[in-house]
Amino acid sequence: GFLFAAIMVAFIIGIGAAIFQMPMLNLVISGAFALISSGLILFHTSEIVHGGERNYIMATISIYMALFNLFLSLLRIFAAFTGQRD
């Protein structure tokens, strides 16, 4: 519900930021995706622990993808703050 809606909103805003070349908005989108990925990791872990997810292969892939997206978002954020300064 909420996480899916947040993903869709961030995705649409991310497309707009890419089209209009807005670097600060890209940084905000990366932060939003980092928070959303963290929420997805918590959600999928809770589903596994409480028995809601029976297919462990799909659960593993979904947690892996959330970790991968979190890593990429953090890389974008750190890269923005470690730019060359004269």
pLDDT greater at residue 61 or residue 52? 61
Q: Produce one character per residue of 13-49: b if its CB has 16 or more CB atoms within 10 Å, e if not.
A: bbeebeeeeeeeebbbbbebbbebbeebbebbeeebe
Rounded distance, CA 8 to CA 55, Å? 25
Query: pLDDT at position 85, please?
Result: 57
Confidence of residue 74 (pLDDT cuts 50, 70, 90): very high
Confidence of residue 25 (pLDDT cuts 50, 70, 90): confident
Confidence of residue 68 (pLDDT cuts 50, 70, 90): very high
Residue ranges per structural domain of the chain: 2-9+23-81
